[in-house]
Protein backbone atom coordinates (compact mmCIF):
# COMPACT_ATOMS: atom_id res chain seq x y z
CA UNK A 1 0.00 0.00 0.00
CA UNK A 2 1.05 3.46 -0.80
CA UNK A 3 0.60 6.30 1.60
CA UNK A 4 -1.02 9.41 0.32
CA UNK A 5 0.89 12.68 0.84
CA UNK A 6 4.41 11.29 1.37
CA UNK A 7 5.81 14.52 -0.03
CA UNK A 8 4.78 16.42 3.15
CA UNK A 9 6.53 14.02 5.54
CA UNK A 10 10.13 15.25 4.90
CA UNK A 11 9.44 18.94 5.65
CA UNK A 12 7.43 18.02 8.72
CA UNK A 13 10.21 15.78 10.00
CA UNK A 14 12.84 18.52 9.40
CA UNK A 15 10.73 21.07 11.28
CA UNK A 16 11.59 19.55 14.69
CA UNK A 17 15.44 19.53 14.33
CA UNK A 18 15.50 23.01 12.75
CA UNK A 19 13.36 24.37 15.60
CA UNK A 20 15.70 22.79 18.15
CA UNK A 21 18.76 24.28 16.41
CA UNK A 22 17.18 27.76 16.43
CA UNK A 23 16.26 27.46 20.13
CA UNK A 24 19.80 26.37 21.04
CA UNK A 25 21.28 29.22 19.00
CA UNK A 26 19.00 31.75 20.74
CA UNK A 27 19.91 30.38 24.19
CA UNK A 28 23.61 30.57 23.32
CA UNK A 29 23.19 34.19 22.22
CA UNK A 30 21.34 35.15 25.40
CA UNK A 31 23.97 33.39 27.51
CA UNK A 32 26.90 35.14 25.78
CA UNK A 33 25.33 38.65 25.79
CA UNK A 34 27.30 40.87 28.17
CA UNK A 35 25.30 44.11 28.22
CA UNK A 36 27.49 46.09 25.80
CA UNK A 37 24.54 48.23 24.79
CA UNK A 38 24.27 49.65 28.32
CA UNK A 39 27.96 50.61 28.28
CA UNK A 40 27.69 52.28 24.87
CA UNK A 41 24.52 54.07 25.93
CA UNK A 42 26.21 55.49 29.02
CA UNK A 43 29.16 56.68 26.88
CA UNK A 44 26.80 58.56 24.57
CA UNK A 45 24.94 60.05 27.55
CA UNK A 46 28.27 61.26 29.01
CA UNK A 47 29.20 62.87 25.69
CA UNK A 48 25.87 64.69 25.47
CA UNK A 49 26.16 65.85 29.08
CA UNK A 50 29.72 67.09 28.57
CA UNK A 51 28.84 69.01 25.39
CA UNK A 52 25.81 70.60 27.08
CA UNK A 53 27.89 71.56 30.12
CA UNK A 54 30.68 73.01 27.97
CA UNK A 55 28.23 75.15 26.02
CA UNK A 56 26.56 76.45 29.20
CA UNK A 57 29.98 77.15 30.75
CA UNK A 58 31.14 79.16 27.73
CA UNK A 59 27.94 81.18 27.72
CA UNK A 60 28.42 82.02 31.40
CA UNK A 61 32.15 82.75 30.95
CA UNK A 62 31.39 85.15 28.11
CA UNK A 63 28.81 86.89 30.30
CA UNK A 64 31.26 87.25 33.21
CA UNK A 65 34.05 88.52 30.96
CA UNK A 66 31.65 91.02 29.38
CA UNK A 67 30.54 92.32 32.77
CA UNK A 68 34.16 92.62 33.89
CA UNK A 69 35.04 94.53 30.71
CA UNK A 70 32.12 96.93 31.27
CA UNK A 71 33.16 97.47 34.87
CA UNK A 72 36.60 98.59 33.70
CA UNK A 73 35.01 101.48 31.77
CA UNK A 74 37.60 101.13 29.02
CA UNK A 75 37.35 103.13 25.79
CA UNK A 76 37.91 100.04 23.62
CA UNK A 77 35.59 97.35 25.02
CA UNK A 78 36.51 94.76 22.42
CA UNK A 79 40.21 95.00 23.28
CA UNK A 80 39.45 94.93 27.01
CA UNK A 81 37.26 91.86 26.47
CA UNK A 82 40.17 90.16 24.68
CA UNK A 83 42.60 91.01 27.50
CA UNK A 84 40.30 89.65 30.20
CA UNK A 85 39.51 86.51 28.18
CA UNK A 86 43.24 85.81 27.73
CA UNK A 87 43.49 85.47 31.51
CA UNK A 88 40.64 82.93 31.59
CA UNK A 89 41.93 80.77 28.72
CA UNK A 90 43.06 77.62 30.52
CA UNK A 91 43.06 75.61 27.27
CA UNK A 92 40.80 72.91 28.65
CA UNK A 93 39.31 70.25 26.41
CA UNK A 94 35.85 70.67 25.03
CA UNK A 95 35.77 74.46 24.59
CA UNK A 96 36.20 74.23 20.85
CA UNK A 97 37.05 77.53 19.18
CA UNK A 98 35.73 80.00 21.81
CA UNK A 99 39.05 81.47 22.95
CA UNK A 100 40.55 81.24 19.45
CA UNK A 101 37.76 83.47 18.10
CA UNK A 102 38.38 85.96 20.91
CA UNK A 103 42.17 85.95 20.37
CA UNK A 104 41.74 86.62 16.64
CA UNK A 105 39.06 89.28 17.21
CA UNK A 106 36.41 87.30 15.35
CA UNK A 107 33.55 88.71 17.44
CA UNK A 108 31.57 91.89 17.98
CA UNK A 109 31.39 93.78 21.28
CA UNK A 110 29.92 97.17 20.61
CA UNK A 111 27.64 99.81 22.04
CA UNK A 112 24.13 100.06 20.64
CA UNK A 113 21.90 102.74 22.12
CA UNK A 114 22.10 102.33 25.92
CA UNK A 115 23.55 98.83 26.00
CA UNK A 116 26.44 96.73 24.77
CA UNK A 117 26.02 93.72 22.51
CA UNK A 118 28.39 90.76 22.52
CA UNK A 119 28.09 88.57 19.45
CA UNK A 120 30.29 85.54 18.79
CA UNK A 121 29.14 83.44 15.85
CA UNK A 122 30.23 80.03 14.61
CA UNK A 123 31.30 78.55 17.95
CA UNK A 124 31.48 74.83 18.65
CA UNK A 125 32.11 72.49 21.54
CA UNK A 126 32.98 68.83 21.24
CA UNK A 127 33.48 65.68 23.24
CA UNK A 128 34.49 62.12 22.45
CA UNK A 129 34.64 58.75 24.13
CA UNK A 130 36.20 55.88 22.21
CA UNK A 131 34.74 55.84 18.71
CA UNK A 132 31.86 58.15 19.67
CA UNK A 133 32.27 61.86 19.00
CA UNK A 134 29.87 64.79 19.21
CA UNK A 135 30.32 68.34 18.01
CA UNK A 136 27.69 71.04 18.63
CA UNK A 137 27.68 74.42 16.92
CA UNK A 138 26.10 77.54 18.45
CA UNK A 139 26.29 81.34 18.62
CA UNK A 140 26.54 83.57 21.68
CA UNK A 141 24.61 86.82 21.65
CA UNK A 142 24.47 88.70 24.97
CA UNK A 143 23.08 92.09 25.79
CA UNK A 144 24.66 94.07 28.63
CA UNK A 145 23.16 97.17 30.17
CA UNK A 146 25.44 100.20 30.20
CA UNK A 147 26.76 101.04 33.65
CA UNK A 148 25.58 104.31 35.16
CA UNK A 149 28.18 106.44 36.74
Largest CA distance in the chain: 116
Percent of the chain with pLDDT over 90: 52
On whether residue 10 sits in a domain, the answer given is no
pLDDT digits (tens, 9 = 90+) for 80-134: 999 999 988 877 777 889 999 999 999 999 999 889 999 999 999 999 888 888 9
6 or 50, greater pLDDT: 50
On whether residue 102 sits in a domain, the answer given is yes
Q: Is pLDDT above 60 for 27? A: yes
Alpha carbons 99 and 80: distance in angstroms, whole number: 14
On whether residue 112 sits in a domain, the answer given is yes
Please report the pLDDT score of residue 58 as a whole number.
93
- Give the chain's domain count: 1
Q: Are 52 and 129 spatial neighbours (Cβ–Cβ below 8 Å)?
A: no
On whether residue 123 sits in a domain, the answer given is yes
Domain that holds residue 60: 51-145
On whether residue 19 sits in a domain, the answer given is no
On whether residue 97 sits in a domain, the answer given is yes
Average pLDDT of every residue of the chain: 86
Amino acid sequence: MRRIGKRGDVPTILLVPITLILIIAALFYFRSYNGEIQNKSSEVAEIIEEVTLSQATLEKVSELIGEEALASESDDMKKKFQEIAAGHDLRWNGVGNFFAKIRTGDFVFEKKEKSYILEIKGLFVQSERGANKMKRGFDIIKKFKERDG
